[in-house]
Amino acid sequence: MDRIPIWVFFILILHILPMANSEEEDKVKLALVRFMDKLAQGNAQKYFNWGWNLTSDPCIDKWFGVNCDKGFNYVRRITLEGLNLTGTLDASSICTARSLYSLSLKNNNLQGLLPEDIGKCKSLTHFYIKGNKFSGDLPDSLAGLGNLIRLDISDNDFSGELPNIHKISGLISFIAQNNNLSGEILAFDFSNLKQFNISNNNIWGQIPDVKGRFSADSFSGNPRLCGPPLLNVCPPPSPPPSPHKKTKKSPSENFVVYSGYVILGVILLLFFTFKVVQKYKTKKESLAVQKQKVAEYSSSDKPGGSSIEFKNATRIGSDYSVTSVESGMTASTLVVLTSPEFKALRFEDLLRAPAELLGRGKHGSLYKVILDSGVVLAVKRIKDWGMPKEDFQRRMHKIDQVKHPLVLPPVAFYCSQQEKLLVYEYQQNGSLFKVLHGSRNGLTFDWGSRLNVAASIAEALAYMHEELQEDGIAHGNIKSSNIIFDKKMDPCISEYGLMVVEIQDQSILSQTKSFKNRNLTSHAYSTFKVDIYAFGVILLELLTGKLVQNNGFDLANWVNSVVREEWTVEVFDKVLISEGANEERMLNLLQIALRCINPSPNDRPSMSEVAVMIITLKEEEERSITFEP
């Protein structure tokens, strides 16, 4: 059979793609017309002159109340306020427009329930239905709108308790006054909220600490609500009910009860005796096996060996250690790199040392290991990784040759076909992730400190990119948990080059033109453009203080949506705002972050360009402090 010429396929593709786009646009258009029909209670013809019909385009023909993006391709906002609409909200239809991020139906006469399908509008950041006649319970799916910023359901007839919308970490405005809502106040993070009002409902119980941000007007009209800022004093907690008077048991009943206690005690004693004997026996056998395996690993020329398994120790100094449990693998010696203080480190030292599991991630596990000498190490274990052993060894030696004071170097590594170990000096001051989102241990993490972290990491990452460009070795997994603070509290990049990112997108592969090994461009191990995107996300964490992903909340999408609405200041961490950080320089750093997370890899700046921009910002900040009166 003759082959079909390749140009035929190109012609087919050129015809199929517009058809697919056209089908999607028609689907959205039909859904919007159906949405209007329900809003107008079957009288959508009345609004035909607004353009809501199948013979026109919502963006190109500018339907009334519809706003699209600048390219006139996607519906972004729908605003239909004060139009005396008397129908119902068809959420399943409106959520078909997946690009919709703002929906306002304020001050109409819409009625019925707020449908469960509203949870399908995943891109929604602003939702206003104030001043209608909606009734019934609020749907649980409302809490699934993880990108929601502002929610106004006031002046309706909603009843029942609120769903778990307090878990929406990006929510800054919640207005729900003049309804029939009941239950206790949810555990909102009041330090995050700029607007909050639940007045004139049936809410009860004690008001939680509102951080002094809201007055009594936000809570009035709820007779059973108490505590500051209201004047209603909460009653003291009720004492526990007094126990009922026990009736005296007969001697025979007492004998049966006490006999039962005795029998139970004997059973427990026998059980614990059995467990102690079994534990002693297991420990004895484990020590014997461990000694045998240490002897096997001590001889690097001897075949046979095994892969390495870390067991999770509940405490340092326990009987758990680095042990080998899988047989049939060829043992490799521990390769100690150029750190002079670790020249004497041997694989047997890791085998004998107790290991504490610090965490598991998508790409491996991290352990804290204490050697007999008292030296504390961090050991990263990667198992079943696709990179060949020889490539991994070459990569580790290359990274060891490229030194930067703010890039934590590996001191040793172990490599077999099945798994790899990387050994680092343990840094006890924790990670940027913990400082931002966990316990700060009294550390003040102000604007100056955050800008310093951004500049330091940008400079170090730019240096590594430039030095390792020809070898195609990027970080591959840079994130706030991989930014570690050393003894001097300087930020350091850890785990550089450990992970590989398999890239299929040719637009990204085109950035890797200078690799020495041309095979990398067709099946890239890592890409510098991915590092730049990830660094942009770290900048967003520094600016907002928010988690990258949290209960459906996507930080990058959330920031983009706020910026689109021209409420840019609202993205910044309230701690930075309260300390009076320079808003202009925060905005400048935000613009750098947005350039880094550009959806198009080709439009992202290089890491060197990013470093120059941030260092310039840092110098401006330092000059402003120097010349302050």
Supply the mean pLDDT for the chain: 78
Q: Produce one character per residue of 173-196: b if its CB has 16 or more CB atoms within 10 Å, e if not.
A: bbbbbbbebeeebbebebebbeeb
Q: Take residue 292 and report the two structure tokens written for it.
A: 């045998």
The model's pLDDT over 331-371, given as tens digits with 9 standing for 90+, comes to: 457 888 877 777 778 887 887 788 888 888 776 788 889 88
Read off the pLDDT band of 299 (50, 70, 90). Answer: very low
Residue 255 lies in a domain: no
* Chosen domain end from 373, 402, 426: 426
Q: What is the domain extent for residue 386?
A: 296-426
Q: Which pLDDT belongs to residue 440?
A: 55
Q: Is 362 annotated as a binding residue?
A: no
Average pLDDT over residues 546-556: 81
Residue 92 lies in a domain: yes
Q: Is 447 in the same domain as 384? A: no
Q: Is 313 in the same domain as 459? A: no
Residue 455 lies in a domain: yes
Q: Is 53 in the same domain as 131? A: yes
Is residue 402's pLDDT more than 50? yes
Q: Which pLDDT belongs to residue 493?
A: 95
Q: Which pLDDT belongs to residue 172?
A: 83
Is residue 561's pLDDT more than 90? no
- Are the beta carbons of 116 and 139 closer than 8 angstroms? yes
Q: Is 113 in the same domain as 134? A: yes
Q: Which pLDDT belongs to residue 48?
A: 61
The model's pLDDT over 445-484, given as tens digits with 9 standing for 90+, comes to: 889 999 999 999 999 999 999 888 888 889 988 999 999 9
Q: Which pLDDT belongs to residue 442?
A: 54
Residue 342 lies in a domain: yes
Q: pLDDT higher for 292 or 499? A: 499
199 vs 221: CA distance, rounded Å: 5
The model's pLDDT over 62-114, given as tens digits with 9 standing for 90+, comes to: 899 998 876 667 888 899 999 889 999 999 999 988 888 889 999 999 999 99
216 vs 222: CA distance, rounded Å: 11
- Are the beta carbons of 428 and 356 closer than 8 angstroms? no
Is residue 7's pLDDT more than 60? no
Average pLDDT over residues 580-588: 89
Q: Is 23 in the same domain as 166? A: yes
Read off the pLDDT band of 16 (50, 70, 90). Answer: very low
What are the strands of the beta sheet with 66-68, ordered from one edge?
Answer: 66-68, 75-79, 102-104, 126-128, 150-152, 173-175, 195-197
330 vs 474: CA distance, rounded Å: 30
Residue matched to tokens 């990830």: 534
Percent of the chain with pLDDT over 70: 74
Q: Which pLDDT belongs to residue 135?
A: 95
The model's pLDDT over 133-181, given as tens digits with 9 standing for 90+, comes to: 999 999 999 988 888 888 999 999 999 998 888 878 778 889 999 999 9
Q: Is 403 in the same domain as 501? A: no
